[in-house]
Amino acid sequence: MASSSKVPSGRLARFSSLAGLAGKLAGGMLAEGARRMANGEKSNRLDLLLTPSNIKRVTDKLAHMRGAAMKLGQLLSMDAGDLIPAELAELLARLRDNANPMLPKQLATVLRTELGNDWQRHFADFEFKPMAAASIGQVHRAQHDKGQRLAVKVQYPGVKQSIESDVDNVASLLKISGLLPAGMDYGALLDEAKIQLQREADYLQEADYMTRFYHHLQHDPRYVVPQPNTELSTANILVMDFVEGVPVESLQAEPQALRDQVMVLLFELFFKELFEFRLVQTDPNFANYRYNLSTKQLVLLDFGACRDYSEAFSDAYRLLFGSALNNQEAGVEQAMRDIGFFSQDIAASQRERILQLVQLACEPLQHSEPFDFGHSDLANRIREAGTALSLQHNYWHTPPADAIFLHRKIGGLYLLAARLKARVNVRALLQAYLD
């Protein structure tokens, strides 16, 4: 856990933080350029910007600011190869680690504001040291005054109010730095990011999503969804059942069969979300999943990034996956159009490259046997193909927002499966939704 620090809550303070960061990055670039010139070395703008010291400056500053500034970095980092250069993705990927927790005094102020001056009367015990600290809030163990074990998620002060300005300021910083292509139209994506972040910052909305998932899965004993405490929860504090479990990443040393089963549960859940519930938890962060080794259950956490999808959108992905599974290019292209791709004029060569990228991403579906994620370089090939599409074929059109969030979820599942070295017959799991 990183050391505590005060969350800058005012708009001016947050803008000043990013403005100061831009100045330090520029200074770092000049210093590095002078050093390389003195040594007779050649370098480009990207080399000068992405030095270890500048990378540390960016990640430390965004981790200190938390909120939308850090969340936007996390969102962008999951789209490596599709929207941003791999170097930027590597920089932003560092933001997936824990943020700095807020100071105890600041935490106490939030608790008093949300639950009243006598907030402690609701708890027999409350641990001030958080067990997790992320971009929008931090989580504490507690015990209800009636004895129930609880997890209490407390939102950082000022996060909601700073979303609009944070997103705009971070985007401006990235554009000025030259890390985002000059011709890239990302305005619609930024607008969608603001909407999504506003949803994630509404803990009452998250409590509703959590309840909906609970009802969807309550009769499937393989999954555990905590229930929110509606009496104590507010828009800025989410109180829920505490559920035992170990981080899914920690299962890397467990037997192959267990690692495979965990990923079977996750892929099966994804298909349920997309085709049955039409409600998808789109945040690919590994920390959203835990596993109870005693009960053999997958624990689902964090429902702030849920998105409802229409029946037409769900059917379009059914057509896409089914066509990709059977190598039917015409069906893949029609599904892509139904989803919202190819809405802008593009060259035939660009369209062909995009279709090839989709087929590549669907590679696990084309194997009738379990796909070995641990011994596959699929993630690298997808990244290289996406980067080539952007840089060599000058394709910077922003995909539909609904698709972007869904693809982030799929990409996260692939990454976790590779981390666990899992073998999963994804085709067999999908087949049930194609018949």
Sequential DSSP letters for 311-361: HHHHHHHHHHHHHHHTT-HHHHHHHHHHHTTT-S---HHHHHHHHHHHHHH
- Quick check: helix, strand or coil at residue 234? coil
Residue 418: CA count within 13 A, CB half-sphere:
13
The two structure tokens encoding residue 179: 């890390």
Q: Give which of 80, 206, 85 is closest to 139, Cα–Cα.
A: 206
The two structure tokens encoding residue 75: 């969102």
pTM to 2 decimals? 0.81
Q: Give which of 212, 208, 215, 216 is closest to 233, Cα–Cα.
A: 208
| Residue 4 to residues 100, 105, 106, Cα–Cα distance (Å) | 5, 11, 10
Residue 75 has a pLDDT of: 52
The two structure tokens encoding residue 5: 């620090």
Residue 61 has a pLDDT of: 54
CB 402 within 8 A of CB 340: yes
| Residue 33 to residues 28, 36, 41, 320, Cα–Cα distance (Å) | 8, 5, 9, 48
Residue 198: CA count within 13 A, CB half-sphere:
9
The two structure tokens encoding residue 243: 């559920």
Angle ∠(267,382,386) on CA atoms, nearest 5: 130
Taking the C-alpha atoms of residue 98 and residue 345, their distance in angstroms, rounded to an integer, is: 41
- Quick check: helix, strand or coil at residue 65? helix
Reply yes or no on whether 283 is catalytic: yes
Classify domain 103-155+202-243 at the CATH superfamily level: Phosphorylase Kinase; domain 1 (3.30.200.20)
Angle ∠(327,328,331) on CA atoms, nearest 5: 140
- Quick check: helix, strand or coil at residue 242? coil
Residue 322 has a pLDDT of: 95
Indicate if the alpha-carbon torsion angle 365, 367, 370, 372 is positive or negative.
Answer: negative
Residue 1: CA count within 13 A, CB half-sphere:
14
Helix (H) or strand (E) holding 307: strand 306-308
Domains of the chain, residue spans:
11-97+159-187, 103-155+202-243, 245-435
| Residue 70 to residues 74, 180, 196, Cα–Cα distance (Å) | 6, 17, 14
The single residue listed with the structure tokens 């599904």 is 335
CB 420 within 8 A of CB 252: yes
Helix (H) or strand (E) holding 144: strand 137-144
Q: What is the pLDDT along the chain (435 residues), one digit of tens a residue?
A: 555 555 445 444 544 444 454 445 444 444 444 444 455 555 544 454 445 555 555 555 555 555 555 555 555 544 433 444 555 555 555 555 456 788 899 999 999 999 999 999 999 999 999 998 777 889 999 999 889 999 999 998 888 887 887 777 777 666 655 555 555 566 777 787 788 888 989 999 999 999 999 999 999 999 999 999 999 999 999 999 999 999 999 999 999 999 999 999 999 999 999 999 999 999 888 889 999 999 999 999 999 999 999 999 999 999 999 999 988 989 999 999 999 887 666 777 777 878 888 888 899 999 999 999 999 988 777 766 665 555 444 454 567 888 888 888 898 899 899 999 999 999 999 999 997
Question: What are the b/e assignments for 405-419, b being 16+ CB within 10 Å?
Answer: bbbbbbbbbbebbbb
Residues whose CB is less than 8 angstroms from the CB of residue 261 and which lie 6 or more positions away in sequence, other chains included = 296
Taking the C-alpha atoms of residue 96 and residue 80, their distance in angstroms, rounded to an integer, is: 14
Pairing of strands 297-300, 223-224: parallel
CB 279 within 8 A of CB 402: no
User: From start to end of 225-268, where are the E strands?
Assistant: 237-241, 246-247
Active-site position among 283, 315, 345, 402: 283
Q: Give which of 413, 2, 47 is closest to 248, Cα–Cα.
A: 413
Residue 48 has a pLDDT of: 41
Residue 352 has a pLDDT of: 82
